[in-house]
């Protein structure tokens, strides 16, 4: 009887296959069977590494979540520079991400939005917001950072859902309204406190 073949990369191949299946067939096309066929592994391997479909989707979402957050991390120096226009930098980075692998961007959002119906995915989906918010918070307060991340999310979804072109100048202006509006509010509160209002 032949021994079990050592295959340390199998788990990663299964995750990669799951991502390809979702990209080709959508979330509804994802099953242990379709992933096993795509990864060219026995069905038992997928259930060994990922007991449930949610476990597999969590791993796939965690991997695809790297997209925008990775772009922001790699350019974190510019975002952290107090002399840089934060809204302009974020608008530029968003355009860079959307102009890259559009299929990858769509896949990231498909898995992200699957969390609406799959509670097991929600903590992983929240990681994206938290990480991007934390990176933006280097230049602003945490509440404004969260609002800015939500604005970026909304702009990206509009582009993906309508199939329209990304308008960097529009994104810059909308992000500036959120960021500068919050800064104005903080300044107003500070002057109000100083004058006893």
Give the pLDDT score at 176. Answer: 95
Contact 80, 138 (CB under 8 A): yes
DSSP codes, 66-110 = HHHHHHHHHTHHHHH-TTS-HHHHHHHHHHHHHHS-HHHHHHHHH
Q: What dihedral angle (degrees, nearest 10) is formed by the CA atoms of 62, 92, 147, 72?
A: 40
Alpha-carbon distance 69 to 128, whole Å? 7
Nearest to 72 by CA among 139, 22, 117: 139
Q: Going residue by residue through the chain, which has 197 residues, state the pLDDT in tens, using 9 for 90 and above.
A: 344 456 778 999 999 999 999 989 988 899 999 999 999 999 999 999 999 999 999 998 888 876 777 777 777 676 778 888 999 999 999 998 898 777 788 888 888 888 888 898 889 888 877 888 888 888 899 999 999 999 998 999 999 999 889 999 999 999 999 998 755 555 555 544 443 43
- Cα–Cα distances in angstroms (integers) from residue 166 to residues 16, 36, 171, 177, 196, in the given order: 28, 36, 8, 18, 45
Give the pLDDT score at 186. Answer: 55
Contact 105, 97 (CB under 8 A): yes
Per-residue HEC secondary structure of 148-192 comes to HHHHHHHHHHHHHHHCCCCCHHHHHHHHHHHHHHHHHHHHHHHHH
pTM to 2 decimal places: 0.75
Domains and CATH numbers, the chain: 10-62 (1.10.10.60), 65-188 (1.10.357.10)
Contact 140, 74 (CB under 8 A): no
């Amino acid at each position: 009887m032949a021994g079990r073949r050592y295959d340390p990369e199998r788990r990663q191949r299964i995750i990669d296959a799951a991502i390809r299946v979702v990209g080709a067939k959508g979330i509804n096309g994802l099953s242990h069977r379709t992933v096993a066929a795509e990864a060219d592994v026995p069905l038992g391997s997928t259930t060994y590494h990922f007991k449930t479909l949610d476990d597999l989707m969590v791993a796939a979402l965690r991997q695809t979540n790297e997209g925008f957050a990775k772009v922001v991390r790699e350019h974190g120096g510019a975002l952290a520079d107090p002399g840089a226009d934060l809204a302009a930098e974020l608008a530029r980075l968003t355009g860079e991400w959307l102009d890259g692998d559009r299929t990858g961007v769509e896949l990231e959002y498909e898995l992200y939005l699957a969390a609406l119906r799959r509670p097991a995915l929600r903590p992983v989906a929240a990681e994206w917001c938290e990480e991007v918010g934390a990176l933006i918070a280097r230049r602003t307060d945490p509440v404004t950072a969260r609002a800015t991340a939500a604005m970026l999310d909304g702009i990206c979804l509009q582009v993906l859902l309508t199939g329209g072109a990304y308008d960097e100048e529009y994104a810059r202006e909308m992000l500036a309204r959120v960021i500068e509006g919050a800064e104005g509010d903080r300044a107003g509160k500070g002057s109000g406190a100083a004058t006893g209002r």
